[in-house]
Structure 1
Amino acid sequence: MTKPIQPSQTNAYYVQAIVSFGIALTAMTIAVVYLPAAGWVRAFLALGLIYLVTSTITLSKVVRDRQELAVVATRVDQARLDKLLTEHDPFRVD
């Protein structure tokens, strides 16, 4: 049996994701701070920005957990099938 290929990410991809997130968050924070509007409007937009960031992090964790659960379930099913196949003897007479 061949092992399934596990997806992997490089360090460059990891760094790129972190840098991209940092730049986007910094740009939006600067835009909200220097927005020519009343203080309550900037505060409302800042609150929306914080909510968006936290919900994005939560969503990414949920997607990751669901993917890991699917991989674990697949491994368990594969282990059960392997056990059944190794225990099965087509030439055995009962």
Structure 2
Amino acid sequence: MGSQDKYWLNYAKLTFIIAVAAMIISIVMLPGDLLIKGYYSICSLFLISATITLSKAVRDEAESKKLLQKLEEAKTAQLLNELDD
């Protein structure tokens, strides 16, 4: 992992922590009773969970396509080598 990747990962983690902290603070400071704060808290947790799941699914799909492309390239190279022989 290069240094740029490390910095990007640290940036992503930091912005996630800041966003979660801002959401928690805003819910705590929200005027209203506990029921309203609980509703917004559960919605926020669901949004975080859905975001993580979506990002993992998109990454997995991209990695799968990348692997299939490498396999196709290897098959093509093997066929070309057999034709040269």
Check whether TM > 0.5.
yes
Where do 5+ consecutive residues of structure 2 fail to align? Answer: none
- Indicate whether 1:25 and 2:20 are aligned: yes
Within-5 A mapping of 1:66-81:
66-81=61-76
Per-residue CA deviations over 1:22-46 (Å, capped at 9, x if unaligned) read 0000000110011011211110000
Where do 5+ consecutive residues of structure 1 fail to align? Answer: 1-8
Give aligned pairs, total: 82
Residue type matched to 1:20 in 2?
A: T
CA RMSD of the aligned region, Å? 1.2
C-alpha separation in 2, matches of 1:46 and 1:25: 11
Counting aligned pairs with the same residue, the percent is 33
Cross-structure match for 2:77: 82
Which one has the largest radius of gyration?
1
Task: Give the helix-richer structure, 1 or 2.
Answer: 2
